Homo-oligomer: A and B are copies of this chain.
Amino acid sequence: VVSRSSLAASGRALRIGEAARALGVTPRTLRYWDELGLLAPSGHTEGGERLYAPSDVERGARIRELQELLGFSLSQIGAVVQSDDVLERLRRARAEGAPAAAQRRLLTEAIEANDELLARLDDTLGRVAAFRDERRAKRDRLRARLRALAAEAPEP
């Protein structure tokens, strides 16, 4: 996993292998995401090689988080990352002179989607913490058992 700042700092376009390494996936995964339309590289070389801009890599990082931390399917992820582009879509709507009500609807829908995500994150957070507490209790039980064993038959 690469930090945001280091991603943004290198303003260079990456070849598929470099982008894959930065994201912790394989080139095959990026080709699959491209095939699905989930993450299309914003450029290509003359030879047909995919070129990933920093913004592409950031989008890829969001996809990974949703996949790894929340276990979302790629189609669910597609819906989320699309609603993530709301500020850009809003700018375009304003440029095209969309009515104020339509602009508001765009924003409120994105806010709702983001709130649902926040609720799931809080839920996951609670469950991981509970699981960790279980495992800490187990650690203490095992340690106590080991101490009992040592007391009963001391090491040579």
Contacts and interface: CB of A to CB of B under 8 A. Distances in A.
Contacts of A155: 104
A85 to B, nearest CB: 12
Integer count of this chain's copies in the complex: 2
Interface residues of A, number: 41
B103 A142 contact: no
A137 B19 CA distance: 26
Given A104-B149, A107-B142, A111-B146, A121 B125 contact: no
Given A114-B139, A139-B115, A125 B122 contact: no
A93 to B, nearest CB: 11
A111 B143 contact: yes
Given A69-B128, A118-B136, A125-B128, 8 more contacts: A69-B131, A90-B145, A107-B145, A107-B149, A111-B142, A114-B142, A121-B128, A125-B129
Nearest to A143: B111
A59 interface: no
22 contacts: A65-B131, A69-B124, A69-B127, A71-B71, A87-B141, A87-B145, A90-B145, A100-B152, A103-B149, A103-B153, A104-B149, A111-B146, A114-B138, A114-B139, A117-B135, A118-B132, A118-B136, A121-B131, A121-B132, A121-B135, A125-B125, A125-B128
A20 interface: no
A150 interface: yes
B104 A146 contact: yes
